[in-house]
Chain A
Amino acid sequence: MSVVFWKELADHFSSRRFMILLAIIVLTGVWAIYASGQSIRQDAESAPPDFVFLLLLTSQSGGLLSLATFLGLLGPLVGIMLGFDAVSGEYARGTLSRVLSQPIYRDNLINGKFLAGLATVAILWASVLLLVIGLGISLVGFPPNAEELWRMLIFTVVGILYVGFWLALALLFSLLFQRTVTAALGSLALWLFLTIFAPLIAQIAAALIAPDASTPEAVVRQVDITNMISRISPSALYGETVQIVLNPLARVLGAALPEQTQGILLTPLALSQSLLLIFPQLTTLIALVAVCFGISYIKFMRAEIRA
C-alpha cells in the first residue's frame, strides 16, 4: 500500500492544479495576516490582548473574511480537487485493470489514494498555519503562548477532518459516477448547497416549526432549532467548532437569554472546557468522514473492473 500512497502523493504535489490552489491560499493568507497583524500591532502596544495569534486567525479586517473562515471556504474545494478524479481518472486513463492485475490487495489502492489525499491536505493546512505563526511572530513581536498553540493545533486537526470529509465525498462520487466531470460537478453542487443554501433552509424550517418570535424565550428557541437543523451541513459543524476553539471567550453556541448570561465572568475558557462544548460537533465530523469513506470502500471492493 505504501507504493500506491507515495505515488499518489507525488502525483498530487506535481499536479498543476495543486500548485494553483496552493498559490491562492498562501497569497491570500499572507495578505490577510498582514492586514490583521497591522491593526493588532497598534492595539498590542497600548493594551496587549491575551490571545493575539488566535485573533490573527479570526479577525475580519476591513470587512473581509477572517482567515479561519476563508480556509473553511477554500478547504472543501481543495478536498474536492484532490478526490474527484481519484477513481474516475483511473477509469478514464484505462490504468485501473492494469494496476489491479498486479499482486496487491484491492483495498490497498483505495486506502492509498485516500491517505495520500489526506496527507496532502494535512501538509497544506499545516504549512499555512506555520506561515501564520511565523508572520505573526515577526509582525506582533512575541511568540504565541502554550494555550494558543494547542488551540491552533486543534484547529488544524479540525480543518483536516473537515476537508477530509469533502475528500471522502469527492472520492465516493468519483467511484459512483465513474466519469470525472460528473464527479466534480456533483461534489461542487453539494458543496454549494451545504454551504450557502442549507443555512437559509434551516432558518426557514425553524420559522415554520416555531413561528412564534414574540418573547425572548421564543426567539432563543427558534435560533436553537435553526442551529440544530443547520448542523446537518458539515460546514456549519466546522464553523461552530472553529468559533469555540479559536475564541476562548466564547462559551455558548447560538443565542442565550440575558438571565442565563447574567453573572458570568468574562474569563477565557480552558481548552478542555472549550473542547467539551464542541465535542458533539467533532464526533459528527469524524463520523461523516468515516461513513463517506466506508461507502466508497465497500463499493470499490465489489466493483467489477473492466476498464
Chain B
Amino acid sequence: MSAVIETSGLTKRYRDLVAVNDLDLRVEEGEIFGFLGPNGAGKTTTILMLLGLSEPTSGNARVCGFDPTRDPLEVKRRVGYLPENPGFYDDLSGGENLLYIARLNRIPETEAHRRIVRLLEQIGLGNDGDRAVREYSRGMKQRLGIAEVLVKEPRVLILDEPTLGLDPDGAARILEMIMGLSREHGLTVLLSSHLLHQVQQMCHRVGIIVKGKLIALGKVDQLGSAIFKERQWNFLVEVEGRADGLESELRELPGVADIEPRSRGWFLRCVRDVRPEMLSLVSRKGLSLLQLRSEDATLEDIYLKYFREA
C-alpha cells in the first residue's frame, strides 16, 4: 500500500533559523496520524510545504503521489486543509462561505448545494446555515471549518490545531466527528496539535516534532519505550485518613522525581520502584491505602521530558 503522504529529507530554512530539519514522514492510507509538538516546532511549516503554500529549502514531499511544489493544484484538489484559527467571510452566511469554496473547486452548482445541505446537517449547523458567520460562536466556526474541508470530498484531511480554543465538550465532539468521518469515508487524517490527550485518544500513530526535528515516530503505546532508555515508574496512590505532611514525605522518598496532587490522592513520577517505601510510609502514619496503581510512561511523560527541554 503506497503512502498517502510521504516526505524525504524535507527541510525549510529561514535565513538563520531551521524551521523544519530533514523530516522523513510516512502516512498510510486511512490512518489518523498525529503531529505533536510545542508551538514553533515546525508543524505548520511542514503542513504548508505539504500543500505547496511554501517552498522547501531541500528535500521533497509527495501527497497522493503528487509533488506539491510542481503540481500544487493536483494536491489541493485532493486535500482538505483546515488552518489554525480558520477565518470566514463574516458578512456572508455559513452556507455562502461553503458555496464559494465549492465554486472554487469547480463543483457543479446543484451538486454543491446538495453537499452543503447534507454537510451542514451532519455537523449540526442545519438551522444556522443562513446566518452570517459574524454571529457564530467559536465552536460553530470550527465545525463550519470541518464542513468546508469536506465539501470537495477530499482523500486527505490536514487539520492544524482543530480543537484550539474549544471547551472540552466542543473539542470532544469535533474529534468524534473527525474519527467517524475518517472511518466512514476511509479518509486519511493528518492532525497537528500540542494537546496530548486528544492526540493520544484518536491517533493510530504519532510523530513528535521538536525544534524542527522528528524525535519520535510510532504507535502511541510503543512511543514510550522507544524514547526512554530508563524505565519510567508512575504510580497513582489514594489514601484515607489524616494525610498532613504525607505529600512532602512522599516527595522526600529517594527515587521520586515529581508529585502531582490528583482529586483524591497523588500521582508520582519515579525513577525506580518506590512501592515498598511508599507502603511502609503510609502504614507508619496510620493511614488506610485505598488505591495503588502503577501506570506506564504516557505521552505526557514524553511531552514533559522533551518539551521542557525545548
Residues of A within 8 A of B (CB): 3-4, 7, 11, 14, 93-95, 97-105, 304-307
Contact = CB atoms under 8 A, between A and B. Distances in A.
Given A3-B103, A7-B100, A102-B105, A304 B53 contact: yes
B104 A305 contact: no
A102 B37 CA distance: 26
Contacts of B152: 102
Contacts of A102: 76, 101, 104-105, 152
10 contacts: A94-B85, A101-B51, A101-B76, A101-B81, A102-B76, A102-B105, A103-B73, A304-B48, A304-B53, A306-B48
B79 A101 contact: yes
Interface string B45-75: 0001001011000000000000000000110
Given A101-B79, A306-B48, A94 B86 contact: yes
Contacts, number: 63
A307 B54 CA distance: 12
A93 B87 CA distance: 5
Contact of A104 (B86, B87, B104, B148): B104
A7 B91 CA distance: 12
Chain B, interface residues (CB within 8 Å), range = 20 to 34
B104 A103 contact: yes
Contact of A98 (B54, B79, B87, B91): B87
Contacts of A93: 87-90
B127 to A, nearest CB: 24
A3 B100 contact: yes
A228 to B, nearest CB: 44
A306 B43 CA distance: 12
Nearest to A92: B87
Contacts of A99: 101, 104
B139 interface: no
Contacts of A307: 83, 87
A14 B83 CA distance: 28
B7 interface: no
A98 B77 contact: no
B163 interface: no
B86 A98 contact: yes
Given A3-B104, A98-B101, 16 more contacts: A3-B100, A7-B100, A11-B89, A11-B91, A93-B89, A94-B85, A95-B87, A95-B88, A97-B53, A98-B83, A101-B76, A102-B105, A103-B77, A304-B48, A305-B54, A307-B87
